[in-house]
Every structure is written in structure tokens, then in C-alpha cells.
Amino acid sequence: MALVNTTEMFKKAYEGGYAVGAFNVNNMEIIQGIVAAAKAEQAPLILQVSAGARKYASPIYLKKLVEAAIEETGLDIVLHLDHGDDFEICKACIDDGFSSVMIDGSKYPLAENIALAKKVVDYAHDRGVTVEAELGKLAGVEDAVKVSAKDATYTDPDEAVEFVQKSGVDSLAIAIGTSHGAYKFKGDPSLDFARLDKISALLPNFPLVLHGASSVPQEFVELCNKYGGKIPGAQGVPESMLRQAAKSGVCKINIDTDLRLAMTASIRQTFMEHPEEFDPRKYLAPGRDAIQKMVQHKIKDVLGCSGKK
Ligand code: G3H
Ligand code: 13P
Ligand code: ZN
């Protein structure tokens, strides 16, 4: 049981043709729900912290909660910075004891993105910390991504090879049609699997990462809407596509929106059914249980990492 970096975890995932879930954490109940699921499934686990989460909870609280989770479960867990914007935030997380960081230079031109990633890699690797970077841009919520636009924003396979070779990163997030949030597709969902397969073939034994991978289960959307929410038209990545990606070199699948939906649907339901309730434990505990149930389903039925701890 330990705080580990991604090296061994991704090696096993790649060889086993499964993916590890990377779940965003913001507070104790979210961490406990995810960790209970990973423990029940004896699954490898990545807990990731965004800049917003660091600001909300303060880094020390999240770090101590993750340490408690490792101690309580006996699992190996990666504590990862999600979407680090610049070298400084990556350095701060490494100095705080994170075992993995993402430097997201996807908004920069290729050479700049590579140089920034390499700077983080040099600092991180000296300290046993692994590094994820991103190449290509995830589709915006409103984007109707057409073929010509795809070439401008989706990850270019040859650039991916150049990026990995020059930067020395340990994993690479790619853009093949997913996007962050609850509104991912206007029409039928589709991902560019031909592109994924090409990148994967050019980078053998190299772990790829899929961001924006929530499935937006309709049961949560309907529950939210039934109990006063307003999220019509939300649509995520079908789970069958995530299964396929996990078999094509994608070793890390990022999920945040589904956690938010699971917890919010449950809390809305409690408030509507028990309007007299004002003890936070009475609505946070069912929210935590809803997260556990959803994460357990992902681990067992989607990512394929049950029993792979
Ligand atoms: O990719 C972004 C994650 O969903 C984190 O979101 O920046 O609101 O914490 P956040
Ligand atoms: P979702 O919004 O699809 O959950 O994606 C989360 C993510 O990519 C975090 O980095
Ligand atoms: Zn992301």
C-alpha cells in the first residue's frame, strides 16, 4: 500500500488491455465514495486534483485525505494534478508530495508545448514523479467538429510521436472527439477511433489518456431534472466507446462530470423527499453512496480494471 506514480500501473494496464479510472476529487465524501468502490473492486486508482479543487479544499486537506485512503484501504493510489497550467503549479504539487502531474500546454504551438512539458519532466523525474501532457484540443461544448476542423484540433499522430520523443513525458492526453462537461455531442456520439489506432500504432507500449470521458448516465440526468434540476440535452461518451478505447492503448480515463451528476442527483432527491432535513450528513451520505455505486460500475463494467490492484 502506497502513494505510487503511474509507471507500473500503466505498464500493467497497457499489457492487460484495460484502463485505470482517474477521478476528480474536491472533498471528503467524494474521496470516500471513490475509494470505497476501488477497495470493493480491488482496483488500481488515480485521484486527481484540479487547480479549482486545490483552491476549494486547500492542497493539504486533499493530500491528507488521500493518505488516509491509502492507509485505510491498503491500495496503491496515484495522487495526480489535473490540467496544470504552468510549471509553477506542477512544481508546487510535486513539492507537496503529489506522485504525478499533468502539464497542459495544449493551447500552445507544438514547440512551446514540448518545451514546457520537458521542463516539468526534468523537475518531476528527478523526484520520482510521472508527467502527463496534452496534445490537440478537446472539442468545445458548442463545437460541431467537421472533418477539416478535426485536423486543426484533434491530435496529429506524427506530432504525437515527436512530442513524446522530445519531451520525455510518461503519458499523453489526446483529442479524438471527447470534451469536458455534460454536453459532449449534439447529434450521434462519435469518436475518431481511426486516429486513436494510428497514434497507438506509432507509439507502441506508450500509455494514452482520454479526458472528457464521462458517460453522463441518463438516470442521473433524469433524477436531477425530476427533482428541480435543469440540464436538458446532456449527453456523454457511450460506455462501449470507452471500453474500445481501453483496448487501444488508452490506460487512463478521466471522469469528473459523472461524479458531479451522481452526487447532485442524490442530494436533490433527498431534499425533495425530505424538505425538513438540514443535517448535512443526511444528504451527503447518500451522495457518497451514489458515487461509490457509479464508480464501481465504471471499474467493473467499463474500464476493466476490477481485481487489477
Ligand atoms: O477537466 C476539468 C475537471 O472536470 C475539473 O474541473 O476545474 O471545475 O475542478 P474544475
Ligand atoms: P468529464 O467532464 O467528461 O468528466 O472529464 C473530466 C476530465 O477530463 C478531467 O480532466
Ligand atoms: Zn480534462
* pLDDT one-digit tens code per residue, 104-137: 999 999 999 999 999 999 999 999 999 999 999 9
State mean pLDDT over 41-67: 96
Per the prediction, the chain carries an average pLDDT of 95
| Alpha carbon of 274 to ligand 3 centroid (Å) | 35
| 82 in catalytic set | yes
Q: Which amino acid residue places its CA nearest to atom 1 of ligand 1?
A: 180
Amino acid at 252: K
Residue with the smallest CA separation from ligand 1 atom 5 is 50
With bands split at pLDDT 50, 70 and 90, how would you rate the model's confidence at 5? very high
Please identify which of the residues 82, 156, 256, 258 carries the catalytic annotation: 82
CATH fold of 7-303 reads TIM Barrel (3.20.20)
Amino acid present at 15: E
CA gap 175, 240 in Å, rounded: 18
Is 185 in a helix, a strand, or coil?
Answer: coil
What residues line ligand 1, using a CB cutoff of 6 Å? 24, 50, 52-53, 82-83, 180, 256
Domain ranges of the chain: 7-303
Residue 253 CA: which ligand is closest? 2
In degrees, rounded to 5, the angle at the alpha carbon of residue 16 between the alpha carbons of residues 15 and 21 is 110
Predicted local confidence at residue 243, as pLDDT:
97
What is the Cβ-side half-sphere exposure of residue 145, based on CA atoms within 13 angstroms? Answer: 22
Please compute the mean of the pLDDT values over residues 175-194 and round it to a whole number. Answer: 94
Give residue 218's identity as a one-letter amino acid code.
Q
Residue 148: pLDDT band by 50, 70, 90 thresholds? low
* Residue closest by Cα to atom 6 of ligand 1: 50
Give the residue-averaged pLDDT of 159-186. 96
Q: Which atom of ligand 2 is nearest to the CA of 211?
A: 8
- Cα(136) to centroid(ligand 3), Å: 12
Q: What is the mean pLDDT of residues 217-238?
A: 92
CA-based R_g, the chain, Å:
19
Q: How confident is the model at residue 144 (pLDDT cuts 50, 70, 90)?
A: low
pLDDT score for 139: 74
Joined together, the cell numbers standing for residue 76 give 496503491
In this structure, which ligand is nearest to the CA of 22?
Answer: 2
pLDDT of residue 232: 86
Q: How far apart are CA 129 and CA 51, in angstroms?
A: 18
pLDDT confidence band for 140 (50 / 70 / 90): low
Compute the distance from residue 52 Cα to the ligand 1 centre, in Å.
7
Examine the pLDDT at 250 and tell me if it is beyond 70: yes
Q: Which three cell numbers stand for residue 112?
A: 512551446
Copy the grid coordinates of residue 219. 438516470
Share of the chain above pLDDT 70, in %: 96
**Structure-block grid coordinates of residue 102:** 499533468
